[in-house]
């Protein structure tokens, strides 16, 4: 018997369908890889996964997960300080810190959780957190939570606008701690934050800089160490948060990498640490194997870069105008949400899985399809996808 809540939600869901913004889930019957088997559709090329290095299905990453499962069992059975921390978590945290160039790190079940933990634990009513306008939803919600819990102040600076940030920091000079948060790579644009400028402004105002490198870890820099390596400033970012659920094997999990004091304080006081189970050991073991693989195979990052450059160039040659950039996130702006959803559906019919994004995920009138390239895509995968773009682009009058 539907409740009044069910009826209300059903009306809204019907409106999503009518407006062409209903998200249809595709069920995969194979591991994440350049080509996946989709229930009811057969094999398709996937251009919408964060499996940037192709490690989700890397044999030693999968084998490490199986070995972790056998050695440590399925679950953690409680939170870390209550029933014990597995040695695999300590090993993983040492590897994450080494990879991104900080003294320490602390793992969480997701980067969403890691972001959520940060301002709400470290700030108080004497402090302020200042956020880039286009930061990820997890940062936006983390700040909302921090304000509700701690009564800290908050401000938003215009996307990538260091002058605006400078002014916001100057206006916050009476605060005890000023925390500035920015994505390292902005996931909807593929744009890279101007890290050296951010570091300079933050130093000048004695502010703590937090970079969410979820789309940069394993992607940017010669060795995939992230935005800081890209700019040659490894060791100069106060706090880095990142996910284990994208380039690093794609299972799940996230971490805060920072000084020993920050990580220890989060261990003592972060509510997602104190009241929620840790990452399953099998996931920690796979993530650790992914980091070892990345450390031993920097050529994988180079392949990712050349695949992304190839795809961006070829899309332009076809007559599309992808956003310029250096990352494997390649958006093609189409305007209206329904258009992006339509293009995504037509591409899927052509055997290519590319997600369409519309308002409110991106600003009104800037709906887009977003391609994400992997080091594991072959030139054949990319060329086949480009053929599909050509057919769909002509059909929609885009090229
Ligand atoms: C910038 C950014 N931060 C955080 C997250 C959340 O990561 P996780 O899936 O580990 O919670 C994402 C995932 O989409 C992201 O793009």
How do residues 165-197 score in pLDDT, each as one tens digit? 999 999 999 999 999 999 999 999 999 999 999
Mean per-residue pLDDT, 270-278: 96
pLDDT in tens, 282-306: 999 999 999 999 999 999 999 999 9
pLDDT for the residue 297: 98
Q: Is there an atom of ligand 1 within 6 Å of 283 CB?
A: no
Say how far apart CA 251 and CA 65 lie, in whole Å. 10
Q: Which long-range contacts (CB under 8 A, 24 or more apart) does 336-342 make?
A: 336/365, 336/367, 337/19, 337/20, 337/21, 337/367, 338/19, 338/20, 338/21, 338/367, 339/367, 339/396, 340/367, 340/368, 340/369, 341/20, 341/21, 341/367, 342/20, 342/396
pLDDT above 80 for 30: yes
pLDDT for the residue 363: 86
Backbone angles phi, psi at 230, to 5 degrees: -55, -40
Q: Is there an atom of ligand 1 within 6 Å of 154 CB?
A: no
| pLDDT category of residue 45 using cuts at 50, 70 and 90 | very high
pLDDT above 80 for 250: no
The question of whether 215 is a catalytic residue gets the answer yes
- From the CA of 245, how far away is ligand 1's center (Å)? 8
Atom from ligand 1 closest to the CA of residue 243: 10
**CB 268 within 8 Å of CB 81:** no
pLDDT for the residue 397: 92
- From the CA of 8, how far away is ligand 1's center (Å)? 30
pLDDT in tens, 314-355: 999 999 999 999 999 999 999 988 889 899 999 999 999 999
| pLDDT category of residue 133 using cuts at 50, 70 and 90 | very high
Nearest to 176 by CA among 124, 126, 103, 248: 126
Supply the pTM of this predicted model.
Answer: 0.97
The question of whether 168 is a catalytic residue gets the answer no
pLDDT for the residue 358: 87
Q: Is there an atom of ligand 1 within 6 Å of 226 CB?
A: no
| Three-state secondary-structure class, residue 316 | helix
pLDDT for the residue 359: 83
Share of the chain above pLDDT 90, in %: 92
pLDDT above 80 for 20: no
Catalytic residue among 89, 205, 246, 293: 246
Mean per-residue pLDDT, 56-82: 94
State the chain's mean pLDDT as an integer: 96
Mean per-residue pLDDT, 33-59: 95
Mean per-residue pLDDT, 200-226: 98
pLDDT for the residue 73: 94
pLDDT for the residue 379: 98
The question of whether 297 is a catalytic residue gets the answer no
Q: Is there an atom of ligand 1 within 6 Å of 243 CB?
A: yes
pLDDT for the residue 75: 87
Strand 128-132 and strand 367-372: the pairing is unpaired
Mean per-residue pLDDT, 124-142: 97
């Amino acid at each position: 018997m539907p409740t009044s809540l069910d009826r209300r939600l059903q009306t809204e869901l019907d409106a999503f369908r009518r407006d062409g913004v209903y998200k249809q889930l595709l069920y995969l019957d194979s591991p994440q890889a350049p080509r996946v088997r989709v229930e009811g559709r057969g094999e398709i090329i996937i251009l919408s996964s964060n499996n940037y290095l192709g490690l989700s299905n890397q044999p030693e990453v999968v084998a490490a997960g199986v070995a972790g499962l056998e050695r440590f069992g399925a679950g953690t059975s409680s939170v870390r300080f209550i029933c014990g921390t597995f040695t695999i978590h300590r090993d993983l945290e040492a590897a994450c810190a080494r990879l991104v160039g900080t003294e320490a790190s602390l793992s969480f079940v997701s980067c969403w959780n890691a972001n959520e933990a940060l301002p709400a634990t470290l700030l108080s009513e004497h402090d302020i957190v200042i956020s880039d306008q286009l930061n990820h939803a997890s940062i936006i919600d983390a700040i909302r939570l921090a304000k509700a819990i701690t009564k800290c102040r908050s401000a938003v600076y215009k996307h990538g606008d260091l002058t605006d940030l400078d002014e916001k920091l100057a206006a916050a000079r009476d605060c005890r701690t000023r925390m500035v948060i920015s994505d390292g790579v902005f996931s909807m644009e593929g744009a890279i934050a101007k890290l050296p400028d951010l570091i300079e402004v933050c130093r000048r105002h004695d502010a703590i800089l937090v970079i969410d490198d979820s789309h940069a870890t394993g992607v940017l820099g010669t060795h995939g160490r992230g935005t800081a390596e890209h700019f040659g400033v490894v060791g100069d970012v106060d706090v880095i948060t990142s996910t284990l659920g994208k380039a690093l094997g794609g299972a799940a999990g996230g971490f805060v990498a920072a000084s020993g004091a920050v990580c220890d304080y989060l261990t003592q006081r972060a509510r997602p640490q104190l009241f929620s189970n840790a990452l399953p050991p099998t996931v920690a073991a796979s993530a650790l194997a992914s980091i070892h693989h990345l450390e031993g195979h920097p050529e994988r990052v180079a392949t990712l870069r050349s695949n992304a450059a190839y795809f961006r160039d070829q899309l332009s040659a076809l007559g599309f105008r992808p956003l310029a950039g250096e990352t494997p996130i390649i958006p093609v702006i189409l305007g209206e949400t329904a258009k992006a959803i339509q293009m995504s559906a037509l591409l899927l019919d052509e055997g290519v899985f590319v997600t369409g994004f519309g308002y409110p995920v991106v600003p009104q009138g800037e709906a887009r399809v977003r391609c994400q390239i992997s080091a594991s895509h072959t030139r054949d995968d990319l060329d086949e996808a480009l053929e599909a773009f050509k057919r769909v682009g002509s059909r929609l009058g885009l090229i």
